[in-house]
Chain A
Amino acid sequence: MKDVHSQILSKLEDQPVEIRRLASKALELSADNSESAVVEALKNWVREIVKSKAQAS
């Protein structure tokens, strides 16, 4: 993980775990992909994160 990503995520420590997970994925994808490719990949990730939250509760 890039150092700046860790700094960003450390500022999100007070946020719910789902926001931290999605933010982390967005940053990871943004490092190597175009914005459109990030949007497409995030569609799956946001679904996945909401599903796992529902299963956990």
Chain B
Amino acid sequence: MILRRIVVENFRQFRGEQSIAFAHGVLGDGQNVTVVLGENGRGKTGLFRALMFCLYGDQVLAQDEDTKKEELRLVNSIALADASGEGAPVRARVRVDFTHNGIPFELEREVKGYLQAGRQIEQLERVELRYQDNGGNAKKTDIPTDIARIINKILDKRVREYFLFDGEKIEDLTKASAAQRLAVAKGIRCLLDIDDLERSISALSRLTDFLGKEYSKVSTGEYAQTINRLNEIQNNLESLNTHLDEIDSEIVLGEDEIRHYTAEQAKDSEAGSLVAERQRMDEQRANLEKEAGELLVQMKERVGPLAVLLAEEMVEDVYQTLDDKRQRGEFPAKLRKDLIESILEQRECICRRPIVPGSSAFDAIIEWKNHAVDEAVEDSAMNLWRVLSGLQGRFEDLRMFLETTVQKYSNLRNAIETAHQNIESISEQLGSDPRADNSKLESLRKAAEARVIDGKAERLKIEDEIRDLELEQSTLKAKRAQLEKKEIEKTELAERVALSAHTQEALAAVKSEFTAEIKTQLANDASAILQSLLDAEGRRMLRRIVVEDNYSLQVHDPWGKPFLANISAGQRQVASIAFILALARAAAGGDVLEMPLFMDTPFGKLSWQHRENLINVIPAAAAQWILLATDTELGRREAQLLMRGGSWGGFYVLRGLPDGCTRIEEVDVDEALTMLGEVEVTE
């Protein structure tokens, strides 16, 4: 930004329209110094205020901290008193013409003042910015937020105090305080232009946190547990099947023995009929048991649906709830979550309109996505509705089946028991045969039969165990398939978490590197500038400006010891200016930054040598230097120096008028020496 002209109309002390054209020279060369001379109270700070008001809409300055806001007046009170006599308001206006990167800008801001019951009331009226775009087309806007955005891009509001400042206040930059540290840190951040980097780091931190939470939801170790259990089941099944084969061999041997002893018993004519009867009864019992077994299988098959009878009421409630939601159209949803995600990803609506992040449409879609139900959840809900719908009306059938089957099974068990008792009775008769051979045969037969029965019972038990394990295996295999799908997603999610976290760390490392580099560069530049600004005594005492880790500024003595606490107010001011010039140089990449140094009361606390050094150094170090000085700080000697340097291009004097207002008078620079006196300098 290079200031070309400021026009003030009925603003503060300046009645009517008056203006100052600033010397702007060529960047870093030529006549780029403008001096505005005025006694205290004539309007030097009023001009500074006009600039701040026009650029940023500020009605209050930092130095107004002791003044109540309602006591500050921008509209010229004499003009207002005259106009109020005629019953009209007065408009105060400031216009600033400037260029930035060669493009001309005209910014104009107005405030309206009127008297009401003897009180001066002020209202902001209008702001307008006229400029040329990159294509050379004339543009105009009166939208305050657009104007603020454009001006902030040119000279960020946060760093303006480094370029537009009160000379006596600037020494605060080198006073040890939290505010000072914040100011330096802020200056460095703005200088680095790392707002995007900081926002990226912060956004990646939030993303890592979000993805980490998503990952912890799916990462329960369930997949590993399922695989282990499946392996365990497989081993158990193999061992049980081996055992089953052994039992089968035992049963076969036992049955062979039974057949052998039965055949031996049948050879006896008396016992023959009893053995035949027992065999018949045995076959009958076997058939009954087979029938009972089949009935049991049927009952087991229906256990699932039959269990629903236990929760009949709950099933009906759930079905009703789901059916109501389905009828209301809540699911299946008209728009699926994956479609919303696709719209967000492509940043384009289905009607082909673009969706811009940060727009209200974008935010609405995000909200929509947050309420949308996952495809899997919706599919599960629909499946549940279908199953429950099929169960409706089947409760009575199930109840009938259960009652008749239980009755039939009970009858079969009774018949089996009767057959068993008959067999036992025949066996007793055969066992109590007084003939020793027959009695021994029956005893051997019974032992073989007992082994077969035990074997069969053991077999049934193992078969049950195998059935349970196979059922669990089948369930776990289905679960493994699902988990495998999730596992792939989980692996991908874990990669996303890692990528987000590593990118965040990488960018944070870049930020630290940038900050360290800029701190060193600033310290080196500021130290070199400080040496050129200090007087002989200062150069002896002060060697280097250092930017501490906590962003405070320190000045070291020749032995590298902190010396800031011992330096004078003038040396503080010079050190602060050295730091600002270093900031400007760093911001311009080592060149002269296209920014004005607008200094109110520049020399108040400085020694003659410091003034001389500032006048020699600043015109070449800054693109433009505007001095608002009193005749007690800028005298003939300072003017001679400015003239000798060839950079003094504009001279204005603020003249007091009888009515208390101020008139801005342009004076030829060559006439300055004749009107300026000697200045007594004390520091």
What residues make up the interface of A, taking CB atoms closer than 8 Å to B? 2, 4-5, 7-8, 11-12, 15, 18-19, 22-23, 26-27, 29-35, 37-44, 46-51, 53-54
Do residues B210 and A41 form an inter-chain contact, with CB atoms below 8 A?
A: no
Chain B residues 50 to 74 lying within 8 A of chain A, measured CB to CB, are none
Q: What is the bound-complex CA distance between A33 and B199, given in angstroms?
A: 9
Do residues B503 and A54 form an inter-chain contact, with CB atoms below 8 A?
A: no
Do residues B206 and A35 form an inter-chain contact, with CB atoms below 8 A?
A: yes
Mind listing 29 A-B residue pairs with CB under 8 Å? Answer: A2-B193, A4-B194, A4-B197, A5-B196, A11-B510, A11-B513, A11-B514, A15-B506, A19-B503, A19-B506, A22-B503, A26-B507, A27-B197, A29-B203, A29-B357, A30-B199, A30-B200, A32-B357, A35-B203, A38-B200, A39-B207, A42-B204, A42-B207, A43-B210, A44-B345, A46-B496, A48-B345, A49-B499, A50-B496
- In the assembled complex, the CB of A11 is this many whole angstroms from the nearest CB of chain B, namely 5
With A40-B357, A44-B341, A47-B496 already in contact, the answer to whether A35 and B506 are too (CB < 8 A) is no
Q: Which residues of A contact B200 (CB under 8 A)?
A: 23, 26-27, 29-30, 38
The 8 closest A-B pairs by CB, nearest first: A26-B200, A37-B357, A38-B203, A30-B199, A30-B196, A44-B345, A22-B503, A37-B358
Q: What is the bound-complex CA distance between A10 and B197, given in angstroms?
A: 14
Q: Which residues of B contact A33 (CB under 8 A)?
A: 357-358
Q: What is the bound-complex CA distance between A47 and B206, given in angstroms?
A: 15
- In the assembled complex, the CB of A54 is this many whole angstroms from the nearest CB of chain B, namely 7
Do residues B357 and A41 form an inter-chain contact, with CB atoms below 8 A?
A: yes
Q: Which residues of A contact B197 (CB under 8 A)?
A: 4, 8, 27, 30
Instruction: Identify whether the interface residues of B are mostly helix, strand, loop, or mixed.
Output: helix
Do residues B499 and A19 form an inter-chain contact, with CB atoms below 8 A?
A: yes
Do residues A4 and B362 form an inter-chain contact, with CB atoms below 8 A?
A: no
Please encode chain B, from 205 to 227, with 1 for each CB lying within 8 Å of some chain A CB and 0 for all others.
01100110000000000000000
Could you say which of A39, A44, A49, A54 contacts B210, with CB atoms under 8 Å apart?
Answer: A39
Q: What is the bound-complex CA distance between A27 and B202, given in angstroms?
A: 11
- In the assembled complex, the CB of A10 is this many whole angstroms from the nearest CB of chain B, namely 10
With A4-B193, A27-B197 already in contact, the answer to whether A43 and B207 are too (CB < 8 A) is yes
Closest to A51 in B: B492
Could you say which of B199, B366, B502 contacts A19, with CB atoms under 8 Å apart?
Answer: B502
Q: Which residues of B contact A18 (CB under 8 A)?
A: 499
What bracket does the count of chain B residues touching chain A fall in? 20 to 34
Q: What is the bound-complex CA distance between A46 and B194, given in angstroms?
A: 22
Q: What is the bound-complex CA distance between A2 and B195, given in angstroms?
A: 12
Q: Which residues of B contact A23 (CB under 8 A)?
A: 200, 503, 506-507
Do residues B503 and A4 form an inter-chain contact, with CB atoms below 8 A?
A: no
With A4-B194, A39-B206, A46-B211 already in contact, the answer to whether A12 and B510 are too (CB < 8 A) is yes
Q: Which residues of A contact B643 (CB under 8 A)?
A: none
Query: For the complex, is B344 an interface residue (Cβ under 8 Å from A)?
Result: yes
Query: For the complex, is B82 an interface residue (Cβ under 8 Å from A)?
Result: no
Closest to B510 in A: A11
Q: Which residues of A contact B495 (CB under 8 A)?
A: 50, 53-54
Q: Which residues of A contact B502 (CB under 8 A)?
A: 15, 19
Query: For the complex, is B81 an interface residue (Cβ under 8 Å from A)?
Result: no
Q: What is the bound-complex CA distance between A25 and B197, given in angstroms?
A: 11
A-B contact count (CB 8 A): 103
Query: For the complex, is B192 an interface residue (Cβ under 8 Å from A)?
Result: yes
Do residues B507 and A8 form an inter-chain contact, with CB atoms below 8 A?
A: yes
Closest to B502 in A: A19
Q: What is the bound-complex CA distance between A29 and B203, given in angstroms?
A: 10
Closest to B193 in A: A4
Closest to B346 in A: A44
Closest to A28 in B: B196
Query: For the complex, is B500 an interface residue (Cβ under 8 Å from A)?
Result: yes
Please encode chain B, from 165 to 204, with 1 for each CB lying within 8 Å of some chain A CB and 0 for all others.
0000000000000000000000000001111110110111
Q: What is the bound-complex CA distance between A2 and B197, given in angstroms?
A: 11
Q: What is the bound-complex CA distance between A40 and B210, given in angstroms?
A: 10
Q: Which residues of A contact B196 (CB under 8 A)?
A: 2, 4-5, 27, 30-31
With A11-B510, A22-B503 already in contact, the answer to whether A54 and B492 are too (CB < 8 A) is yes
Do residues A46 and B510 form an inter-chain contact, with CB atoms below 8 A?
A: no
- In the assembled complex, the CB of A3 is this many whole angstroms from the nearest CB of chain B, namely 8
Q: What is the bound-complex CA distance between A56 and B204, given in angstroms?
A: 24
Q: What is the bound-complex CA distance between A12 and B500, given in angstroms?
A: 15
Closest to A38 in B: B203
- In the assembled complex, the CB of A43 is this many whole angstroms from the nearest CB of chain B, namely 7
Do residues A26 and B496 form an inter-chain contact, with CB atoms below 8 A?
A: no
Q: Which residues of B contact A11 (CB under 8 A)?
A: 510, 513-514
Please encode chain B, from 493 to 523, with 1 for each CB lying within 8 Å of some chain A CB and 0 for all others.
0011001101100110010011000000000
- In the assembled complex, the CB of B64 is this many whole angstroms from the nearest CB of chain A, namely 33
- In the complex, given contacts A30-B197, A47-B496, what are 20 additional A-B residue pairs having Cβ atoms less than 8 angstroms apart? A4-B196, A8-B507, A19-B503, A23-B200, A26-B200, A27-B196, A30-B203, A31-B196, A35-B199, A35-B203, A37-B358, A39-B210, A40-B344, A40-B357, A42-B204, A44-B341, A46-B496, A47-B492, A50-B495, A51-B492
Do residues A22 and B199 form an inter-chain contact, with CB atoms below 8 A?
A: no
Q: Which residues of B contact A30 (CB under 8 A)?
A: 195-197, 199-200, 203
Closest to A12 in B: B506
Q: What is the bound-complex CA distance between A41 and B193, given in angstroms?
A: 23
Closest to B366 in A: A40
With A46-B211, A50-B495 already in contact, the answer to whether A26 and B503 are too (CB < 8 A) is yes
Please encode chain B, from 578 to 601, with 1 for each CB lying within 8 Å of some chain A CB and 0 for all others.
000000000000000000000000
